[in-house]
Structure formats: C-alpha cells, structure tokens
Amino acid sequence: MKFSRKIAPEIKTSPKFLTKKRLKEDEINFEKLRSYRLDRVRKELEKNNLEACILFDPVNVRYALDTVNMSVYNMHNLTRYCFVPVNGPTILYEYFNCEILSKHLNLIDEIRPAITWDYFSNGDQANAQLKKWINEIKDLSNKYFKTKKIAIDVLNGPAVSELNKQGIEVVDAKLILEQARVIKSPEELKCMKAAIEVAEIGVAKMRNDLKPGMTEDELWSILHKTNIEHGGEWIECRILSSGERTNPWMQESSNKVMQTGEIVAFDTDMVGPYGYCADISRSYVVGHKFNDEQKKLYSMAVEQIDHNARLIKPGMTFKEFIEKSWLLPEEYYGNRYSCMVHGIGLCDEWPQIKYPTDGGEQGGSFEQNMTLTVESYIGKVGGKEGVKLEQQYLVGQNGLELMSYHPLEKI
C-alpha cells in the first residue's frame, strides 16, 4: 500500500475528505491480519527464550487473538485474559457467560471461563480464588512452559508473589508485545487507513461546526459521535482546549465557552474501526482568522513537524534523529511536548522518542513499515496561547509517507 510522501498538503477548496468512505470489510483479509499478528507474538517470545505469555491488557489480547469484549472495563479489571504459548493451544479466558462472543475466531483453540481473584468480584473469597488461578497456571506450566518462566503484561502484587512461591518466574511481556506490534502488515495498514479516514471525517465536522458560543465539550463530542457512527471503539484521552487553556498544553475539554479569535487545539487519540488508532492533532482559531502571534506559533509547529518528518528514513538511529531534530527555542522549551515522535498502531506504541533532556538516548532505529506520529506543541512559557499539531506516517522505503490527509490551516 502506498501513501503520498507529501509532507504538508495544501488546503483544498472542497473538503473531499468528507466524502471518503470507510474501507469495506471485504477489502481486508482478516485471516492474514490475525495470523500475522499471532505469529509476530510467538516469534518475539522465541527471540527472548520464552515459551509462553499471559496477556491481560485488552489491546494486547486484541493484537494476539483479535478478540474483543468490554475493552475499557477490562483495562482496570483483571477479568479477561489469554494464554499464548510458542507451541501449544491458544486459550482465551473469557468474562462470565461471554464465551459465544469469540467462537468465530479460528486462532483461538479453546475458551475457558476466566478465574478472577480481585476484591470487587469476590470480596472475602479473593484469596481462595487466587489459589484456583495459581493452580490453573501451574497446570499450564506443566504442559506448555516447563522452564517455569512466563511473560505477563499486567498483574497485581498478590498474584506475582504467589507465582514466585510456586517457583514460577514472571517477566514483563510489554517488551514482547511492543516489539511484535512495531512492524505493520499490509492488512494492518488497511485497517489504519480506515481509522484515519473516520477520524478525518470527525475532524472536518469539528472545523466546519466550530463557532463562537460553543463549549469545548460540545466541539469534542462531534469526534466521539463520528467514531461510534462509523464502527469505532473509544477515545483514549479528551485533550481539547481553547484560548488561554491551550498554554500550557494537556488540559482536557471543559464547559468553557469559546470566543471569536481564540485558538482551539486538540489531539484525537481515537481508537477507530478494527481497533486501530488515529492520532492526529489540529489547531484552529474560532472564526478562522489568525492574528500575527497565532500565525507565528502555527508556522513554528509546521516547521518542526516538516523538519523532523523529512529526517526519518529506514536505518536511521533514534540517537541520530535526536541530534538532528528541530531545535525548540529556549523560551518555548519549558512547555515542550512529552515526545517528538512515537509509534502508533492499536494505540500509542514503542518507540517514544523524547527531547534530549528527557531521556531521549534509548537505542533503536527506524524500520520500514513502522507507523509513527510526528508531534509539535509550540507555546511560550508564560505565553497566552499555544498550538498543537501532529501528523501520522508510514516509514516507507525512502522516508516517511503521509497517512493523515486532513489539511493544515492556510495562514
């Protein structure tokens, strides 16, 4: 799949992105999608001398087996998980009475009821339930990971302690899954394209409907509605602000009434169709007329993204990128964003490439078929307003290829 390598698209007079249709499901080969992802997990386990993993994070469960059930709920309750061995059956431990939801997925060899041991679900029987879960893991170990070493992504303290008492070592599965997810298949890119198209329909509606007297929450709700209407799933954050709330960055949407001439900026963080994330940021002015200071902020943000995006090519190390990255002026540095670049897929993914003063020296390099976002926040320390922009890209053979087409502002 090819994407244009154009870095900063020109404003189009007619918003053709409004008429884009989401990819039809028959254009995506789901068998290839699922097999590729499960194979990536197993290869990473082998690479790290591990025989199996247990996954609780709903995003990781989705990646490994493409099974979904109450994702947000299960991000804070240990009530659904899966077992993935290098050699042996994949087992989904499903939430109470929900086994039927995943019976159509042929990469799941067996579905069992989840054993839960949290206090919310079990009260004073939590310890007894934990013993049942430990016995289940011991049984799996005897059959499928005889080294007594298991990768687990999310687990509470009592469970780790009990496994250790049984001689089972727990290692972090985060590295396994992040490395598995980093290189995208052609089918994944089709899913990502569908998610971005939905986000851009929502973003275009937000820009068209923006008017004085709206609250930030009213504007933000347009993206949520659009996402759900088109088969999307959830939005990770609610970062939208206007006027003086745009500096410093990271404030969430509120009931503030927006006024003519104010900047309004947001970050989509949208988990759309097929579970893939569309992560772009845009900044507008209420009334769409930028003053000179707003033009300066916006131009700097565009310059930073363009400069950094043009640097990235397969084989470039993260260290080299940091050394050559756009230099944020000192009076803006204290308000810098948390990173310059991060991976993107089912959600924000590895790598996260930070500014030099924030621990940006991690090893690694850009690889073909990584998908990334390039970020910029420009707001002077003590200044009145700020601008947030972010673009989504594919690492192509010769450099970055733009995936997010909603146009930047003509200033």
Say whether both 187 and 175 belong to one domain.
no
pLDDT, position 24? 64
330: amino acid identity, one letter: E
Same domain, 168 and 203: no
In the numeric block, the tokens 């810098």 are attached to 336
Residues 215 and 329 in one domain: yes
DSSP, collapsed to helix, strand or coil, labels residue 401 as: strand
Contact yes or no for 386/393 (Cβ under 8 A): no
Q: Are 44 and 52 in contact (CB under 8 A)?
A: no
pLDDT of residue 264: 98
Residue (of 15, 387, 388, 385) closest to 208 by Cα position: 15
Same domain, 240 and 253: yes
- Beta bridge pairs of residue 391: 374
**CATH code of the domain covering residue 141:** 3.40.350.10
Q: Are 224 and 35 in contact (CB under 8 A)?
A: no
For residue 313, what is the domain's CATH number?
Answer: 3.90.230.10
Residue 371 in contact with residue 343, Cβ under 8 Å?
A: yes
Domain identity same for 73 and 160: yes
Is the same domain home to 216 and 344? yes
Residue at 5 is within a domain: no
Number of domains within the chain? 2
H-state helical runs in 288-368: 292-311, 318-324, 330-333
Q: Give the CA radius of gyration of the chain.
A: 23
pLDDT score of 250: 98
Same domain, 77 and 145: yes
Residue 244 in any domain: the answer is: yes
* Per-residue model confidence as pLDDT tens for the chain (411 residues): 433 333 333 333 334 433 444 446 889 999 999 999 999 999 999 999 999 999 999 999 999 999 999 999 999 999 999 999 999 999 999 999 999 999 999 999 999 999 999 999 999 999 999 999 999 999 999 999 999 999 999 999 999 999 999 999 999 999 999 999 999 999 999 999 999 999 999 999 999 999 999 999 999 999 999 999 999 999 999 999 999 999 999 999 999 999 999 999 999 999 999 999 999 999 999 999 999 999 999 999 999 999 999 999 999 999 999 999 999 999 999 999 999 999 999 999 999 999 999 976 789 999 999 999 999 999 999 999 999 999 999 999 999 999 999 999 998
Peptide bond into 248 cis (omega under 30): yes
23 three-state secondary structure: coil
192 and 141 housed in the same domain:
no
Distances from the Cα of 357 to the Cα of 305, 322, 333, 360, 363, angstroms = 19, 11, 10, 7, 16
Residues 289, 299 within the same domain: yes
Beta pairing, strands 348-353 & 270-271: unpaired
* Distance, CA of 104 to CA of 117 (rounded, Å): 28
For residue 309, what are the domain limits? 16-25+182-402
User: d(Cα 271, Cα 268) in Å, to the nearest integer?
Assistant: 9
Is 192 a member of any domain? yes
Residues 11 and 410: beta-carbon distance below 8 Å: yes
Residues 105 and 112 sit within 8 Å (Cβ to Cβ): no
H helices of 20-86, in order, are 30-47, 58-65
By residue count, the chain amounts to 411
Strands 110-113 and 91-94: parallel
**Residue 1 falls inside a structural domain:** no
Residue 159 belongs to some domain of the structure: yes
What three-state secondary structure class fits 303?
Answer: helix
Residue by residue, DSSP assigns 225-267 as: HHHHHTT--EES---EEEGGGGSSS-PPP-SPBP-TT-EEEEE
Single out the residue in 181, 207, 234 at which a domain terminates.
181
CA distances from 404 to 17, 236, 391 (A): 10, 18, 6
Tell whether 312 is covered by a domain: yes
Q: Which of 177, 219, 188, 198 is nearest to 270 (CA)?
A: 198
Distance in angstroms (rounded) separating the CA atoms of residues 384 and 180 = 42
348/253 same-domain check: yes
In contact, 364 and 319? CB cutoff 8 Å: no
Are 249 and 266 within one domain? Answer: yes
Q: Residue 243 contacts by C-beta under 8 Å, 6 or more apart in sequence?
A: 256, 258, 259, 262, 263, 264, 385
- The CA distance from 385 to 364, in Å, is 35
Residue that finishes a domain, picked among 181, 213, 246: 181
- 32 lies in a domain? no
Does any domain span residue 290? yes
Residue where a domain terminates, one of 153, 181, 209: 181
- Give pTM, 2 decimals: 0.92
Between strands 149-152 and 169-172, the pairing is: parallel
- Helix%, strand%, coil% for the chain, nearest 5: 40, 20, 40
Verify that 195 and 315 share a domain, yes or no. yes
The pLDDT value given to residue 1: 40
